[in-house]
Amino acid sequence: MTNSYFSKQLSSITEKGNLRILPTVKECGYEIIKDGKHMLNLSSNDYLGLAGDTALKEEFLSHVSPGKFSFTSSSSRLLTGNSGEYDYLEKQLARLFDSEAALVFNSGYHANSGILPAVADHHSLILADKLVHASIVDGIGLSRARCIRFRHNNYEQLERLLSENHRNYEHIFIVTESIFSMDGDECDLNRLVELKKQYGNVFLYVDEAHAFGVRGERGLGCSEQYDHLHDIDFLVGTFGKALASIGAYLICSKEIKSYLVNTMRPLIFTTALPPVNLQWTSFVLNKMVYMNDKRIYLSHISRLLREKTDKLKSNSKSHIIPFITGTADSAVNASLYLQRHGFYLLPVRPPTVPEGTSRLRISLHAACTEEQIERLVINLNTCKI
């Protein structure tokens, strides 16, 4: 009975061309090996190429020995899981961002699904960009606040919503990503900070998952690039992308940190990160701030790709460049075509992106050569959709 229910649902997903499976991959450096074929991996978020950097891992491992690290923290942070490595990493982050405090979470999903439910109550209004990440959408769903999603990057609408509503709520939270995950375009941080500053009860919440490591001279994100490190109340970023690790951070005031330690469920009710992960994050973070040459190179090849492909009429301003094919089937076909030509690009379909905008999400990394970009351009141009 139940099984037939699920198989019916699955058939309907399949009919729409949206059935997902978990692809098992074999990675080798910056390549994916599938059925004996080597392909350049352009589907990962290893933007600086650090996850594929064996020398970096060797250097880290030469400093650690089994007596000095642990694969588990065996407890939540409020009990015995709050190892000295947390303190070290949070101080390191606060120093880098020149902030009062930093708080580390197990993942970006934990951060985004937990912060808003903790800080926004039924006296609050959340104004979130239409295209924010699923983890933020889930956080909004779990919070008791009212929420209005404004059209993507439409600040006239946001401005109107703020002026209409600021008197009716104790707090308003403006929520956005800095570089958007699926389109690679940017929010306008200058404008958002300006809007927020017009009111005394508006907080700005920015998710820099795709900008951390990639933007700003020290890689701290768009907030560093546009000189707004001190203007964002909830500055979130993740370690699982450019930083080649796992976990996430929030840059905030001491008060907000302490409040979250007392109220945020995905921080309180979960086993803390293993100390060895925190050590690796700190180790890579120390090096990442000096990798501006990689950031400059990544921005160079991204521009190259954007300029050379007339097919990619996207709004991307970053290393994430969507190749929008339309239907789910066309994205699958384009993916297979590019895989045959040596590029591992996977289709992204609804519900991850809106219906009719299925795509390949090209995500470049600093270990791509210009020659590979040239070859990719040729293959995108010959790919029929």
Ligand X SMILES: *Cc1c(COP(=O)(O)O)cnc(C)c1O
Q: In this chain, which of 85, 90, 129, 177 binds ligand X, going by CB under 6 A?
A: 177
Give the residue, chosen from 46, 207, 231, 233, that forms a contact with ligand X under the rule CB under 6 A: 207
Asked if 183 interacts with ligand X (CB under 6 A), we say no
Nearest distance from C-beta of residue 66 to ligand X, angstroms: 27
Please choose, out of 104-112, 140-148, 189-197, 279-287, the segment that lies near ligand X by the rule CB under 6 A: 104-112
Which tokens hold the place of 354?
């809106």
- Residue number with CB closer to ligand X (134 or 336): 134
Are residues 173 and 150 in contact, defined by beta-carbon separation less than 8 angstroms? no
CB contact set of 42 (below 8 Å; sequence gap of 6+): 343, 344, 345, 362, 363, 364, 365, 368, 376
Q: Does 288 bind ligand X (CB under 6 A)?
A: no
Task: Note whether 346 binds ligand X by CB under 6 A.
Answer: no
- 124 binding ligand X? (CB under 6 A): no
Helix residue ranges per DSSP H, 64-188:
84-97, 108-119, 134-142, 155-165
Those residues with Cβ within 8 angstroms of residue 11's Cβ, 6 or more apart along the chain or in another chain:
none
46 binding ligand X? (CB under 6 A): no
Residue 112 is a binding residue for ligand X (CB under 6 A):
yes
Q: How far apart are CA 285 and CA 93, in angstroms?
A: 9
Q: Rounded to a whole number, what is the distance in angstroms from the first to the last CA of the chain?
A: 40
Which one of residues 181, 223, 279, 325 is an interface residue with ligand X (CB under 6 A)? 181
Minimum distance, C-beta of residue 321 to ligand X, in the bound complex (Å): 15
Question: 217 to 276, contacts with ligand X by CB under 6 A?
Answer: 238, 240, 248
We find the least distance from the C-beta atom of residue 24 to ligand X, in angstroms, to be: 19
Give the single-character DSSP code of 124: E
Quick check: 185 binds ligand X (CB under 6 A)? no
- State yes or no: residue 209 binds ligand X (CB under 6 A): yes
Q: To the nearest whole angstrom, how small is the minimum distance from the Cβ of residue 315 to ligand X? A: 16
What DSSP string runs through 16-84?
TT--------EEETTEEEETTEEEEE-SS--TTS-TT-HHHHHHHHHH--GGG--S---SBIIIII--H
Question: Residue numbers of the site for ligand X (CB under 6 A)?
Answer: 107-109, 112, 133, 135, 177, 181, 207, 209-210, 238, 240, 248
